[in-house]
Amino acid sequence: QLATTIGAFHFDNVLMNASGVHCYDLTQLHELEQSEAGSLTTKSATSAKRLGNPEPRYAKLALGSINSMGLPNEGLDYYLDFALTHQQQLPDQPIFMSIAGLTLEDNIAMAQKIEASDFAGLTELNLSCPNVPGKPQVGYDFDRTKYVLDTIFEFFTKPLGVKLPPYFDLAQFDEMAAILNQYPLVYVNTINSLGNGLWVDPTDDTVVIKPKGGFGGIGGQYAKPIALANVRAFSQRLKPEIQVIGTGGIYNGRDVYDLILCGASMVQVGSALYEEGPSIFARLKQELAAEMQAHGYHSIEDFRGKLKIM
Ligand code: DHB
Closest approach atom of ligand 1 to CA 53: 10
pLDDT mean over 159-164: 99
Nearest CA to ligand 1 atom 7: 129
The predicted structure's pLDDT at residue 179: 99
The predicted structure's pLDDT at residue 98: 99
The predicted structure's pLDDT at residue 155: 99
pLDDT mean over 5-28: 98
**pLDDT digits over 204-252, tens only?**
999 999 999 999 999 999 999 999 999 999 999 999 999 999 999 999 9
CA distance 229 to 131: 23
The highest-level CATH class for domain 4-52+71-194+221-302 is alpha beta
Closest approach atom of ligand 1 to CA 132: 10
Helix (H) or strand (E) holding 63: none
129 is catalytic: yes
Q: How much of the chain exceeds pLDDT 70, in percent?
A: 100
b (16+ CB within 10 A) / e for 225-250: ebbbbbbbbbbebbeeebbbbbbbbb
pLDDT mean over 174-190: 99
Q: Which of 37, 122, 129, 180 is catalytic?
A: 129
Question: Confidence class of residue 106 from pLDDT cuts 50, 70 and 90?
Answer: very high
Q: How much of the chain exceeds pLDDT 90, in percent?
A: 100
What's the CA angle centered on 88, arms 119 and 74, to 5 degrees? 55
For the chain, the domains span 4-52+71-194+221-302
Q: Is 235 helix (H, G, I), strand (E, B) or coil?
A: helix
Q: Is the CB of 217 under 6 A from ligand 1?
A: yes
pTM: 0.99
**pLDDT digits over 30-86, tens only?**
999 999 999 999 999 999 999 999 999 999 999 999 999 999 999 999 999 999 999
Mutation test residue for ligand 1: of 126, 210, 218, the one with most atoms within 8 Å of CB? 126
